């Protein structure tokens, strides 16, 4: 009968747990997402507006000190309404159209790109209390900090011109530090004039474009095979041009029979049958485990850039056929070019993926540096040994396999081509997306690249030459 006192104790414990949950969740959410909430384009608190804004935004520079965006005071036209206005506005370097998605814009329409994501620094919200009081007390106009990005506008321009009018994206990283050297998405726009830009152009394909990866995913499958199949060195597969799984056919490109292949030659000639077979031999669990190490199905919470999540949709209900398709990068797998550049970087950097960095440094008033880039490990995707083996294979892909056209001279390259089939509509037969991921120079890679060109043909014919030229140019520039 009088158990109620004990029951009260239990209830109190439940209530206390509930309050701890509240406080804990609040702390967790703010720690991981607080800055993202703050930098949301919908946050009108930090908008620089009108003739007398409280704070004006600082400059955006590239890594060689080229001013990409700056704040000006004067007459300008409101891009939204078209009327002439007087006051502070953002002005962009004419070269900014080569980096329109990276830099973004900040005007009456809203914010995008680094202008949105790094608004905390640009508007000086990271300044300490003394700096803020000093600015309020002694300066006629408060000003935020300058940010220096890791991109090189020269490279951006070269890549943009190389891509021309084709839709697609190129991402170039330094695999050792994670610095983003170039990130181009086409079609692009001029940030000074965004009034007539359509929604498709505004999409940053490098971080928001989700594509089927095609054969470049074989790098991940190979990594998984190297770590999960014990006698992988003696593993062979007899390719007859197509593989039957449960009565369904997975065929090689153009139905070509590669005959007897081992892992290396399957990679070099991009044999679909071999990798589909391999995928089933590895099993969904192990493949998924490797995928997660590479960053699939993960929430990318990078501090410098917002990248859409890649998905590798396999679980225990996946059929053998589907698993085979997944292993060669078709099925429901979707990736961003940025993530694929990280996969290339993993191979180049002994299996370790560094956290990507877009922010080179934050420079405060009087040129005082407030924050500089510190390399940080994102994930250890595979062992050093597996990375070495895959690296050798990728070098041979370029020297003798499907990626021969990446060999443009100037620098030694390793890579993997991909040709991602897309569903054709009845009206038109669409070409596949051309992919290439790679690294250079092969001895000690300092560059990792991912190239995708939408609906353009095979990776070897379209994407590989672009990657080769970009890597050569970057090498010439000393990266």
Task: List Cα–Cα distances, 134 to 351, 366, 456, in angstroms.
Answer: 47, 13, 56
Residues 136 and 377: their CA atoms lie apart, in Å, by: 39
Task: List Cα–Cα distances, 235 to 194, 241, 244, 260, 447, in angstroms.
Answer: 55, 18, 19, 10, 31
Per CB under 8 A, does 18 bind another protein?
Answer: yes
Closest CB to another protein among residues 42, 409: 42
Structure tokens at 77: 């036209």
Using DSSP, state whether 332 is helix, strand or coil.
coil
**Which among 331, 336, 338, 382 is positioned nearest to 219, based on CA atoms?**
382
Applying CB under 8 A, which part among 30-38, 377-385, 444-452, 464-472 lies near another protein? Answer: 30-38
Closest CB to another protein among residues 4, 200: 4
Binding mask 43-72 for another protein (x = CB under 8 A): xxxx--------------------------
Applying CB under 8 A, which part among 29-37, 251-259, 306-314, 447-455 lies near another protein? Answer: 29-37
Per CB under 8 A, does 37 bind another protein?
Answer: yes
Q: What angle do CA 390, 394, 399 make, to 5 degrees?
A: 145
Closest CB to another protein among residues 29, 257: 29
Residues 338 and 358: their CA atoms lie apart, in Å, by: 12
Q: How far is the CB of 168 from another protein (least distance, A)?
A: 27
Q: How far is the CB of 16 from another protein (least distance, A)?
A: 6
Note the helical H segments in 353-383. none
Residue 89 dihedral angles phi and psi, to the nearest 5°: -150, 165
Cis omega before residue 310 (within 30°)? no
Per CB under 8 A, does 19 bind another protein?
Answer: yes
Task: List Cα–Cα distances, 318 to 298, 334, 350, in angstroms.
Answer: 20, 16, 31
Per CB under 8 A, does 136 bind another protein?
Answer: yes
Per CB under 8 A, does 23 bind another protein?
Answer: yes
Residues 365 and 155: their CA atoms lie apart, in Å, by: 29
Per CB under 8 A, does 128 bind another protein?
Answer: no
Closest CB to another protein among residues 3, 423: 3
Chosen residue from 51, 82, 137, 409 binding another protein by CB under 8 A: 137
Q: How far is the CB of 358 from another protein (least distance, A)?
A: 20
Q: How far is the CB of 94 from another protein (least distance, A)?
A: 32
Structure tokens at 178: 């994670």
Q: How far is the CB of 111 from another protein (least distance, A)?
A: 13
Chosen residue from 99, 121, 140, 422 binding another protein by CB under 8 A: 140
Residues 65 and 23: their CA atoms lie apart, in Å, by: 43
Chosen residue from 65, 83, 138, 427 binding another protein by CB under 8 A: 138
Residues 105 and 112: their CA atoms lie apart, in Å, by: 5
Applying CB under 8 A, which part among 129-137, 327-335, 342-350, 370-378 lies near another protein? Answer: 129-137
Per CB under 8 A, does 366 bind another protein?
Answer: no
Query: Are 313 and 291 spatial neighbours (Cβ–Cβ below 8 Å)?
Result: no
Applying CB under 8 A, which part among 40-48, 260-268, 333-341, 397-405 lies near another protein? Answer: 40-48
Closest CB to another protein among residues 36, 249: 36
Residues 55 and 46: their CA atoms lie apart, in Å, by: 9
Q: What angle do CA 54, 56, 59 make, to 5 degrees?
A: 165
Applying CB under 8 A, which part among 127-135, 183-191, 387-395, 458-466 lies near another protein? Answer: 127-135
Per CB under 8 A, does 42 bind another protein?
Answer: yes
Chosen residue from 49, 139, 236, 377 binding another protein by CB under 8 A: 139
Q: How far is the CB of 136 from another protein (least distance, A)?
A: 5
Residues 354 and 351: their CA atoms lie apart, in Å, by: 10
Residues 207 and 101: their CA atoms lie apart, in Å, by: 10
Q: What is the gyration radius of the CA atoms in the chain, in angstroms? A: 25
Closest CB to another protein among residues 43, 81: 43
Closest CB to another protein among residues 10, 369: 10
Q: Where on the chain is the footprint of another protein (CB under 8 A)?
A: 1, 3-5, 7-9, 11-12, 14-16, 18-23, 25-27, 29-30, 33-38, 40, 42-46, 129, 132-133, 136-140
């Amino acid at each position: 009968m009088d158990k109620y006192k004990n029951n009260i104790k239990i209830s109190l414990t439940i209530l206390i747990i509930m309050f701890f949950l509240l406080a804990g969740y609040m702390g967790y959410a703010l720690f991981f997402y607080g800055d993202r909430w703050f930098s949301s384009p919908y946050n009108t608190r930090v908008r620089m507006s009108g003739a007398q804004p409280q704070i004006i935004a600082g400059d955006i520079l590239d890594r060689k000190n080229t001013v990409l965006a700056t704040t000006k005071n004067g007459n300008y036209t409101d891009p939204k309404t078209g009327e002439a206005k007087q006051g502070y506005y953002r002005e962009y370097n004419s070269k900014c159209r080569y980096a329109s998605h990276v830099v973004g814009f900040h005007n009456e329409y809203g914010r995008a790109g680094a202008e949105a994501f790094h608004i905390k620094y640009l508007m000086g919200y990271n300044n300490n209390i003394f700096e803020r009081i000093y600015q309020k007390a002694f300066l006629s106009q408060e000003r935020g900090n300058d940010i220096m990005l890791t991109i090189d506008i020269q490279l951006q321009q070269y890549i943009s011109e190389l891509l021309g009018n084709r839709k697609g994206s190129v991402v170039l990283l330094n695999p050792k530090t994670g610095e983003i050297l170039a990130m181009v998405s086409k079609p692009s726009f001029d940030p000074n004039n965004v009034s007539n830009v359509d929604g498709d152009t505004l999409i940053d394909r490098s971080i928001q474009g989700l594509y089927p990866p095609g054969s470049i995913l074989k790098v991940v499958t190979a990594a998984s095979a190297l770590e999960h199949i014990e006698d992988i060195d003696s593993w062979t597969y007899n390719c007859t041009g197509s593989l039957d799984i449960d009565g369904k056919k997975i065929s090689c490109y153009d139905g070509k029979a590669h005959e007897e292949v081992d892992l290396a030659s399957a990679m070099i000639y991009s044999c679909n049958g071999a990798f589909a077979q391999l995928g089933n031999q590895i099993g969904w669990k192990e493949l998924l485990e490797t995928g997660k190490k590479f960053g699939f199905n993960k929430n990318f919470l990078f501090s410098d850039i917002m990248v859409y999540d890649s998905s590798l949709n396999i679980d225990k209900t996946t059929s053998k056929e589907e698993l085979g398709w997944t292993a060669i990068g078709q099925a429901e797998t979707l990736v961003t070019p940025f993530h694929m550049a990280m996969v290339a970087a993993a191979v180049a950097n002994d299996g370790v993926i560094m956290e990507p960095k877009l922010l080179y440094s934050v420079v405060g008033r009087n040129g005082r540096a407030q924050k500089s880039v510190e390399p940080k490990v994102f994930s250890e995707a595979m062992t050093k040994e597996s990375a070495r083996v895959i690296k050798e294979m990728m070098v041979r892909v370029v020297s003798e396999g499907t990626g021969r056209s990446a060999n443009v001279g100037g620098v030694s390259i390793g890579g993997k081509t991909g040709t991602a089939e897309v569903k054709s509509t009845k009206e038109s037969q669409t070409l596949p997306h051309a992919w290439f991921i790679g690294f250079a120079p092969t001895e000690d890679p300092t560059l990792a690249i991912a190239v995708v060109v939408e609906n353009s043909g095979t990776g070897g014919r379209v994407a590989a030459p672009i990657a080769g030229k970009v890597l050569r140019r970057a090498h010439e520039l000393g990266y």
